[in-house]
Structure 1
Amino acid sequence: MSQASTARGSAYLTALTQEIEKKLQRALVTQSQRLNLMQELFADVALEVDVRARDIILSKDEDGISSAEGDIENHLCFYDVLADHYVKVPENGKPILDLIVQLWSQSFASNIFALLFHKWLFEVQLENSEILLRYSSALVQGATNVFWIDIQTNRRCFLSLFHYLLEEVALVPMRLNKIALQAQRDLYLVLSRFMFFYNLVNKLEALLNQFPIFPNAFLVGGPADIFVIELTDQLQKLKVEPVLLHYLSHMKVLQDRKIPTASYKSVFSTSLPVVLALFMLEFCSVLYQSNTVLTPEDAFFKLEEYEKTKRHLNVGSLIVFQSSVHVGWNSIQGPTYAFSLYQLCLVSSTPFPAMNVL
């Protein structure tokens, strides 16, 4: 890249930094607009870099900001380039950092800190243990918040942040040891919860090998046990159907893995009823809308074509559905989980023509 292009890119990032600083200053002095301003700033730094801005600030052969590092799956956001910029030119990020600290208790403050300074934190040497703990905790909390935003929207805007924390921090002891010990443990728990979502299950073995020692390890077990416990808890919190199904599709990575201590944490018994419930709700909705009844013989009949249709059930419709789902998880030294669903009664307040199912 030519010196002129480098200067142009640096000037662009400096201008962005100044705009961020102005918005933080406004949030600091304007209490009534503080929440809105912080939310706007978070949205601004999370925006995807457009083509024009990308041409200004990025180059394939630039040493400081590499598209291979920041542009994961062709999705580059402003926080990616700003995080790199504050590592290269830390003095540019200091005013922003000072303002974030003053707004520490505000919503979105930890999110913004995690996005803009997740690389800077591992490149500087902080002697003050209290400040280190504060920054470390904010990083983990902010990262958790933005990962949940991705979960709720079923998008992966913050994939590069997760990728960096996993591959450049959790798997690199020299960097990991720069943050507080409790933050290290919390970071591994966060990575365990979101690894399936960000499609990085191929790094599971490496992550388990680097797990720090937990004080309660004698109760809960080793790294694999902790991973399963966190995964199970995560499954219980998922409310977005495509995300839940995405998690379940990655369960095969646990095949043939011995996790004796965590065998009481029934991942499949937790997730299967949820999936089956979602399926049955969709299934019943389709039958209801199409006036179709499924008989035990697995035959479909249109109501107007079925000779035995003689009465209406005012309480709703009854669907008899027999299904048995058996899921074996040989890796856990526990029972094979089986879930049987024999019948489902869907009660509707609207009278619905139903047939006698014999």
Structure 2
Amino acid sequence: MVTIKEIAQKSNVSTATVSRVLNHDHSISVQDETRQRILQTAKELGYQTIHERRKKQQTQSKKTSFSVGIIACQTVEEELNDPYFISIRQGIEEELYKQGINKVGSYRLNDMLTVPQDFLSLDGLLVIGRLGEDVLNQVSENIKNIVYLNYVPDEERYDSVSIDFEKATKKALQHLIDLGYKRIGYIGGVEREHLKQQKVISEDKRLITFENMIKHGYFEGSEDIYIGEYTMTHGYELMKKALKKKNVPKAFFVASDPMAIGALRALQEAGLSVPSDVALVAFDDIEAAKYSSPPLSTVKVYTKEMGQTGVKLLMDRMKGRELPVKVTVPTSLVIRQSCGTSVTEHPFKEVIQ
């Protein structure tokens, strides 16, 4: 770093004179030739005054003060009925705060009849859930830095953070198979994309995995699939519907914890014991899962960590990375009393191919 002393020596004047000239002290009496010589020497040596250095730091600070948007692809009702997505959002908000990002806008896809003006000026966007292709194209034309959470639209173009739903479902079903169940029921919901006041049903990899395993002969259950909404109420109603059959499966895979809690209530009202009469394995591991009676065995999804990871990817993108990155967050099977064994983290050995 260049000092005033060095400039003074090269200009053949005192350090006090150099200091007053560089700081634009007009009360000093100095010849114009001397003033110009000092300024020229400072410029050649690359000297910057405190004021200039502060101005540069402020400019750089403004450049790193990113504006970030969070867009939820779920309706308010869907988010309230399933804490899964709320937990992802909490992870996002915590990490944004930690990263010092204060300019944060929140949007909900089904409320966006048109793209808001402030939305188009965002430096980066975090998308929670599925975004329709037409909306996706609109967004990507205006916002370069986008990270998708719980959905992978195009891994060659966009950053994403998700889980392997197929592998996670196999963990749960493999455990029931290991316990000796040869017939397994399925209770699940539908995933939707909300597009311009329309709802488009999307494939659910949990159901697809379940049906594929039946086709490959791992267990029976093709007549025991019940689909509704991802809510506690629908879990309750679908289990009541299943119980109307004379021959009920001795085990069920339920595709979300809220649905499983509802299903559990229906079983108890029917006088059936869990897991003695019917075993349950669910999906998500929300907070309520460990406090249900009995506590739910479930696939644990690290939702908060998904949100935090998404923010880190976005920060990296906004700082210049161009190569898209896909992060698959691992899951674990938490075994509790609803399938008849003690509490543990189940080490998954992939037997099912």
When you count helix as a share of all residues, which structure comes out higher?
A: 1
**Which structure ranks higher in relative contact order (CA pairs < 8 Å, sequence separation ≥ 6)?**
2
What's the TM-score bracket when you normalise by the shorter of the two chains?
Answer: under 0.3
When you count strand as a share of all residues, which structure comes out higher?
A: 2
TM-score when normalising by structure 1: 0.23
